[in-house]
């Protein structure tokens, strides 16, 4: 399959590498003028857990092809769209008249109405997913990331279309297991507020990895997420459809605060995601957007509101 990764960020690079290893032809679309800066290869250090729980360490310089234009009559079969949520509308506006016959896999964090967010894309050519990977590019330009074995997929309504089934087979063929979410819209929003709750503390402390070293801060983050659940309900989501995601938030927060850091310390792939994440502006934007929606809907979120200074001022990295 001929695949275009939209952008050259962490998710695009990690999954582009995995799909290329599975035998697909992969290219990257980058902004005009960026190809020369990026160079002809991506230096990467990936902890790949698709086959082994503790992961296989891969370090290589992966030759890639970047393009700075996308003709409306291109022959790509799949476009993978994964950008910061605040760049999503711009990306969709660009892609709308340039999708051609391709399926667009939306592989993205979203806080807006998903169906509205993709309205500019051709009807029937969108598939929905969410990556199980993370990390960051270091100051040396090396991508350090964990590639987890599970990819989350779902639909906004009804069973998967033929295009969506083809995307699922593509991901399985690349060695990923699929976690099917029956209410993908609700799952996206629940995931978004979970991030917002975590970042009430991670931004204050300077990093996600620093948060995991402080059980008291983890407890506060869990309580912040718990306060955000009514906001998800206020947006029309039935949390009973997401019991497995909500259950860990219902147990005593002190217990979670002890167990979660213990798990992170012992599971290197997750620890790498936390240590390598290198985009604090994304974290601040998640907090700002979640707080703005809570105020619009009149939902009290005291812990998120108390963290507002962290969303407006750059955090100092401490760990």
Local confidence band at 278 (pLDDT 50, 70, 90 cut-offs):
low
In contact, 38 and 8? CB cutoff 8 Å: yes
CA torsion through residues 283, 284, 289, 290, sign: positive
Q: What is the pLDDT of residue 263?
A: 82
Q: Is the pLDDT of residue 225 over 60?
A: yes
Q: What is the pLDDT of residue 314?
A: 60
What sections of the chain are H helices per DSSP? 10-21, 35-38, 88-95, 114-117, 162-173, 184-205, 208-211, 215-234, 243-250, 253-266, 268-276, 280-297, 302-306, 308-312
Contacts of 227 (CB under 8 A, 6+ apart): 197, 300, 301, 302, 303, 304
Pairwise pLDDT comparison (59 vs 249), residue with the higher score: 59
Q: Is the pLDDT of residue 216 over 90?
A: yes
Task: Specify the CATH number for 2-181; select among 3.90.1640.10, 2.40.30.10, 3.40.50.300, 3.40.50.720.
Answer: 3.40.50.720
Contacts of 194 (CB under 8 A, 6+ apart): 225, 228, 245
- Tens digits of per-residue pLDDT, 153-179? 999 989 999 999 999 999 999 999 999
Local confidence band at 185 (pLDDT 50, 70, 90 cut-offs):
very high
Pairwise pLDDT comparison (13 vs 315), residue with the higher score: 13
What is the number of other CB atoms lying within 10 angstroms of the CB of residue 122?
A: 16
- Tens digits of per-residue pLDDT, 194-212? 999 999 999 999 888 888 8
Residue 105 bridge partners (DSSP)? 80, 127
Spans of all domains in the chain: 2-181, 186-312
Q: What is the pLDDT of residue 256?
A: 86
């Amino acid at each position: 399959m001929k695949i275009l990764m939209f952008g050259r960020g962490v998710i695009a690079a990690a999954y582009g590498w995995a799909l290329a290893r599975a035998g697909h032809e992969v290219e990257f679309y980058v902004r005009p003028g960026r190809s020369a800066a990026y160079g002809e290869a991506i230096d990467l250090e990936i902890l790949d857990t698709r086959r082994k729980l503790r992961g296989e360490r891969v370090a290589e310089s992966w030759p890639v092809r970047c393009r700075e234009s996308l003709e409306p009559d291109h022959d790509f079969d799949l476009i993978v769209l994964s950008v910061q949520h605040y760049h999503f509308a711009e990306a969709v506006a660009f892609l709308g008249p340039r999708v051609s016959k391709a399926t667009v896999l939306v592989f993205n964090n979203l806080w807006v109405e998903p169906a509205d967010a993709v309205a500019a894309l051709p009807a029937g050519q969108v598939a929905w997913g969410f990556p199980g990977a993370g990390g960051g590019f270091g100051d040396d330009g090396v991508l350090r990331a964990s590639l987890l074995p599970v990819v989350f997929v779902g639909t906004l309504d009804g069973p998967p279309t033929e295009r969506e089934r083809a995307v699922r087979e593509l991901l399985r063929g690349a060695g990923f297991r699929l976690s099917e979410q029956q209410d993908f819209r609700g799952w996206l929003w629940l995931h978004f507020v979970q991030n917002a709750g975590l970042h009430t503390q991670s931004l204050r402390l300077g990093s996600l990895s620093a948060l995991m070293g402080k059980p008291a801060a983890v407890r506060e983050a869990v309580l912040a997420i718990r306060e955000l659940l009514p906001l998800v309900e206020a947006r029309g989501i039935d949390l009973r459809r997401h019991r497995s995601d909500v259950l860990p938030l219902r147990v005593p927060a002190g217990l979670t605060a002890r167990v979660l850091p213990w798990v992170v310390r012992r599971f290197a792939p997750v620890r790498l995601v936390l240590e390598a994440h290198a985009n604090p502006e994304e974290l601040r934007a998640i907090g700002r957007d979640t707080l703005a929606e809570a105020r619009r809907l009149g939902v009290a979120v005291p812990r998120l509101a108390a963290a507002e200074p962290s969303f407006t001022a750059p955090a100092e990295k401490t760990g």
